[in-house]
Structure 1
Amino acid sequence: MTDLTSTPPAAPGEMYPQETGFAVLDEIRDAALEQLSPEVVDYLEGGAGTEATLRANRGAFGRWAIKPRPMSGVSGPDTGTEFLGLPLSAPVLTAPFGGDGLFHDGGQIAVARANAACGTASIVPEAGTFSYERVAEAAPAAARIAQLHPFEHFEVSAERARRAGYTTLCVTVDCSTAGFRVRNRTNRFSPDLAYFAGNQDGVGTPQVAEMFERLLGLSTPSWDWGRLAEATSRCALPWIAKGVLTADAAEQAIAAGAAALVVSNHGGRQLDPAPASLDALPEVAAAAAGRVPIALDSGVRTGSDIFTALALGADAVLIGRLAAYGLAAAGEEGVRRTIELLTEELRTVMMLAGTASVSDIDANCLTERPR
């Protein structure tokens, strides 16, 4: 099998080595989209409504430029950090995208193994193809955070994750119902629910069809912060609130006991139009005021995007579509190469911006582009 990750040394006179595999992230995305059926491509690439939020996520990064710092003396910058006590070789975690078996047979098991190889971490989805237990058994060092939804079975799922070795929960708070996803509706997209049913085999957990009925139903009773606070107070694990876009939501989440926040609009797949995650980040960071760590999700595509997010107040980023591209392109090797390329570009940007460590990256490193 072709090695998709190794890079031979450059020959004399070559500016760049002749890659045997993926040289840039766009090659991974292209390879991924070639592997997938058109309806799965739309499921992966699409957003809600007119996809204004999807476009805004990328547009927000384009409004910032990174200031070069020539002759800084910085070499070999350190991308290492930690998030909620979890050591990371780079400020990157993979987002909890479900239906992962649609993209590759290895699914989140392959994602977690790639994270383990790279020294990063997975947020393992509740609606994934493989159970919390199977992913944790395959890559215990990386499968440390379990994602779940605030439904009636919350405490059963939380205890199951704890027993499987997870140290943190990630609660998706922006999904009281699924977004109005036009591409999926147009395609009459109806995948085999087995791709989403990895965790639907324990006592007290709903069948996957029931879970989707709750998720898609507009009349399903939804939780509020008070009910979430009560449920999480009975769990033995700290939890992250994923889906925070305003100062008010940040305050509510922290008051409810959240140990960290994820600034996210669900990759543009929920409310549309909604604020771009990067645009919301400074407001949320100011509201949090250092009380809890913050991750940025939605729209990250490059190492310079990671730098920009850190400069505006994030402690780490989540990658969803990027990880899915890697998975679809080449399974575990594709995800690993994705993380390697992101880290390599981040390190390059840090050196050119004169930042020796991620803790040196702040708002002074950025300038707004003229509008």
Structure 2
Amino acid sequence: MYRAGVLGRRPAVPTDFAELERRAREASSAKAWAYVAGGAGEGRTMRTNRAAFDRWAVVPRMAHGQATRDLSTELLGRRLDSPVLLAPVGAGALMGRDSDVQIARAGAATGTPYVFSNQGCNPLEQTAAAMGGTPWWFQLYWSTDEALVDSLIGRAEDAGASALVVTLDTTTLGWRPQDLNLGSLPFSRGLGIAQYTSDPRFRDLVRQRVAAVRDGTLPESDVVITLGAIRSLLSITREFPGRFLDNLRSPEPRAAVETFLDIYSNPGLSWAHLETLRERTRLPVVLKGILHPDDARRAYDVGADAIVVSNHGGRQVDGAIASLDALVTIREEVGDEPTVLLDSGIRTGSDVFTALALGADAVLLGRPHLYGLALAGQRGVEEVVRNVLAELELTMALTGAADLASVTREMLVPNPSA
């Protein structure tokens, strides 16, 4: 970066999170920002996530003699270049067209695994092709249609996923005032449902719905013609696979949105459902959204290979426990052996260092990479990832950690000023 500065060249994205967030907000529409940056309720959980990191201070060590660092790690049987994965964020096209493909290309360019969102804007097969040889995982929202669950799992396996990540904490959407105040849900405009509209089981359900409306067994939804309704219809038509004019004449695009909203997540998801996973997939199973040690133990009991300690970036329950605080408690309860990842609140390389020191085997990076996408597309995502990894390596260099195994809790102390 400094060498490029001699030539008058600057990074595509800011290297500090505050400026990255400010500029991303300027580049985003009100609806896009509300969905991606917003949180549940009054935003207390989002603030708590950050405050939890502030309660810990890194203790640099001197004259340690370590001149090189190794950021690589083994996770679920795969050797990875670093302990950072790109988190699944739904409806990424709000921040840039072909969002999943651009993020995947950035992941491939930086050697960073990407967890494909079940609420993605590109079919998983298309996104997988952009990953090259870099590992990727697939996030699953458990639908009320069990055949659709199996279809999505099968597609992920066939496309080469390295793990299946089942998100547990969004069986229903949380109270999100930023979206509610705008009356804005991207899925209702056809954004973020590409995994569904590309799925044969889902398309069959859509056709069944259209047929039921035609024969009168299912009442047709009332439509009030407004400018907003017309804009939504055009968005739904544009996002649906196929030719725009053909879609405009077809009832299927609107029926697809209605079908998705009816079945995409199962409010009755239970441990009994999760116990069936070992029979339904050959992939390693990761359960995401764990915050209580009892749930962590139960997750491993039902066959999970790893868990992600996460409060969904503060988007589900206002006033929930910080993910970092939950990580500390869960790691103390389950011991050193089980694989535990952390999601929610990670903003910098120093944050990654703190999370690793407190017991995380790896972390998921969410909003920051979407902000990079908003500012500079694939290049923006790449620079955000490289910035986080560079700061992680520098923090290791200045504390004497030669590798990730050397990043331990002894390198932290409670922050007296927090």
Same fold (TM over 0.5): yes
Greater shift, 287-296 or 338-347, is seen at 287-296
- Give me the whole-angstrom Cα distance separating, in 1, the residues matched to 2:262 and 2:135: 28
> Contact 2:286–2:305 (CA<8 Å) still a contact in 1?
yes
> Contact 1:107–1:327 (CA<8 Å) still a contact in 2?
yes
- Give me the whole-angstrom Cα distance separating, in 2, the residues matched to 1:174 and 1:221: 10
2:178 is matched with 183
TM superposition shift of 1:229: 1.1
TM superposition shift of 1:149: 1.2
> Contact 1:285–1:313 (CA<8 Å) still a contact in 2?
yes
Q: Kindly provide the CA deviation profile for residues 243-292 of structure 1, in whole angstroms up to 9, marking residues without a partner as x.
A: 00110110111111111110000000012211000000012222332343
- RMSD, matched Cα: 2.0
- Give me the whole-angstrom Cα distance separating, in 2, the residues matched to 1:107 and 1:66: 35
TM superposition shift of 1:341: 0.4
- Give me the whole-angstrom Cα distance separating, in 1, the residues matched to 2:4 and 2:121: 38
Is 1:339 the counterpart of 2:335? The answer is: no
What percent of counterpart residues are identical? 37
| Equivalences for residues 3-82 of structure 1 within 5 A | 8=3, 19-26=10-17, 27-82=19-74
Greater shift, 298-307 or 104-113, is seen at 104-113
> Contact 1:171–1:239 (CA<8 Å) still a contact in 2?
yes
SS of structure 1 residue aligned to 2:201:
coil
SS of structure 1 residue aligned to 2:352:
helix
> Contact 2:13–2:372 (CA<8 Å) still a contact in 1?
no
Greater shift, 72-81 or 261-270, is seen at 72-81
- Give me the whole-angstrom Cα distance separating, in 2, the residues matched to 1:233 and 1:7: 53
- Give me the whole-angstrom Cα distance separating, in 2, the residues matched to 1:103 and 1:23: 17
Structure 2 runs not aligned, ≥5 long:
206-255
> Contact 1:111–1:332 (CA<8 Å) still a contact in 2?
yes
- Give me the whole-angstrom Cα distance separating, in 1, the residues matched to 2:398 and 2:175: 42
The change in CA–CA distance for 1:183 and 1:248 in structure 2 (over 3 A counts) is same
> Contact 1:53–1:276 (CA<8 Å) still a contact in 2?
yes
1:197 is matched with 193
Amino acid at match of 2:356: L
Q: Kindly provide the CA deviation profile for residues 47-81 of structure 1, in whole angstroms up to 9, marking residues without a partner as x.
A: 11111111100010000000110111122222121
Q: Kindly provide the CA deviation profile for residues 169-195 of structure 1, in whole angstroms up to 9, marking residues without a partner as x.
A: 000011111111111111111435432
1:97 is matched with 89
Residue number among 161, 169, 182 corresponding to 2:164 in the alignment = 169
- Give me the whole-angstrom Cα distance separating, in 2, the residues matched to 1:319 and 1:190: 23
Residue number among 319, 334, 344 corresponding to 2:365 in the alignment = 319
> Contact 1:28–1:338 (CA<8 Å) still a contact in 2?
no
SS of structure 1 residue aligned to 2:275:
helix
Residue number among 83, 86, 105 corresponding to 1:113 in the alignment = 105
Amino acid at match of 1:160: R
Amino acid at match of 2:201: G
TM superposition shift of 1:25: 3.5
- Give me the whole-angstrom Cα distance separating, in 2, the residues matched to 1:257 and 1:72: 41
Q: Kindly provide the CA deviation profile for residues 124-143 of structure 1, in whole angstroms up to 9, marking residues without a partner as x.
A: 01111011101001213235
Q: Kindly provide the CA deviation profile for residues 28-57 of structure 1, in whole angstroms up to 9, marking residues without a partner as x.
A: 333322221122112111111111111100
Higher percent of residues as helix: 2
TM superposition shift of 1:208: 4.3
| Equivalences for residues 106-255 of structure 1 within 5 A | 106-142=98-134, 144-151=136-143, 152=146, 153-191=148-186, 193-200=189-196, 201-205=198-202, 207-214=256-263, 221-255=267-301
- Give me the whole-angstrom Cα distance separating, in 2, the residues matched to 1:213 and 1:183: 23
- Give me the whole-angstrom Cα distance separating, in 2, the residues matched to 1:21 and 1:186: 32
1:3 is matched with none
- Give me the whole-angstrom Cα distance separating, in 2, the residues matched to 1:7 and 1:69: 26
Q: Which TM-score applies when normalising by structure 1?
A: 0.91
Residue number among 328, 345, 348 corresponding to 1:299 in the alignment = 345
The change in CA–CA distance for 1:149 and 1:351 in structure 2 (over 3 A counts) is same
- Give me the whole-angstrom Cα distance separating, in 2, the residues matched to 1:349 and 1:204: 48
- Give me the whole-angstrom Cα distance separating, in 2, the residues matched to 1:90 and 1:274: 29
Amino acid at match of 2:190: A
The change in CA–CA distance for 1:21 and 1:103 in structure 2 (over 3 A counts) is closer
SS of structure 2 residue aligned to 1:287:
helix
Q: When the two structures are aligned, how many residues end up with a matched partner? A: 359
Greater shift, 166-175 or 74-83, is seen at 74-83
- Give me the whole-angstrom Cα distance separating, in 1, the residues matched to 2:373 and 2:11: 18
Greater shift, 105-114 or 200-209, is seen at 200-209
TM superposition shift of 1:18: 6.2
> Contact 1:113–1:142 (CA<8 Å) still a contact in 2?
no
> Contact 2:274–2:302 (CA<8 Å) still a contact in 1?
yes
- Give me the whole-angstrom Cα distance separating, in 2, the residues matched to 1:234 and 1:222: 19
The change in CA–CA distance for 1:367 and 1:31 in structure 2 (over 3 A counts) is same
